[in-house]
Amino acid sequence: MKAIHFLITLLFSISLFAQTPGLKISHLTGDFYVYTTYKAYKGTPVSANGSYVVTNKGVIIIDTPWDTIQFQPLLDSIENRHRQKVVLCIATHSHEDRSAGLEYYKQKGIKTYTSKQTDVISEKTGEKRAEFLFSKDTTFTLGQYSFETYYPGEGHTKDNIVIWFPKEKILHGGCAIKSMEAADLGYVKEANLSEWPKSLNRIKKHCASPKFIIPGHQSWRSLKSIDHTLKLLKEHK
């Protein structure tokens, strides 16, 4: 009976673990990686994508984990895998699936950044805030890699930016871009639905011919996600 009870308990634990994924890290290309964390929404785990790049001067994280218990495991996983510490973190808008770990990482001595526009919203809504702010599109360089912050205009939120690595043609779109798996626009209470298509077209022009596009949620393995988002916006009307 004890063996049966142990087996039932073990199977139940495995089932719970399967229902609540933790941290997943996937290689993108070269020194670039996508990491995914999860949070329950209406009883179902929903993914959120962040990314990081390993430079010879430390690691850059773009967007923080949505799942708060993954803040430290992400740092540990990066250091164990690459023997490098995270030195810079930037969030692409104020929502917690992008910004929840900003203050935690600041306490760890990591330089954290958002736009001033994001910081104003975060202060009003009680979201976590970065230590450093930028007021316009900015180029960051760390080690051998450079990236641009680009504000295309309002879309998913008033403050959504994208991150563009022009040399490597890698676009971290955040929640401004929906995955090909997305059946709808998701949360739109803070969206500007009339400006969003214009902003996406600006992204297509500024970030031309990307080799990779990383949306905020779900799969990131398609280059058609911007066009799919435009399609969803048209259908939403």
Q: What is the DSSP letter of 51?
A: E
Predicted pLDDT of residue 139: 98
Res 42: pLDDT: 73
Radius of gyration of the chain (CA): 18
- Per-residue pLDDT, 41: 75
Q: What is the pLDDT of residue 50?
A: 98
Residue 20's pLDDT is: 43
Q: Provide the pairing of β-strand 44-55 with 139-142.
A: unpaired
CATH class assigned to 20-236: alpha beta
By the 8 A CB rule, do 30 and 20 touch?
no
pLDDT value for 12:
33
pLDDT for 44 equals 84
Q: Say what the pLDDT of residue 16 is.
A: 33
The model carries a pTM of 0.91
Residue 145: how many CB atoms within 10 A of its CB? Answer: 20
How many CB atoms are located within 10 Å of the residue 30 CB?
11
- Residue 6: its pLDDT value, please? 34
Return the HEC string of 61-86: EECCCCCHHHHHHHHHHHHHHHCCCE
pLDDT profile of the chain (237 residues), mean per 10: 36 36 94 96 88 98 97 98 98 98 98 98 98 98 98 98 98 98 96 98 98 98 98 94
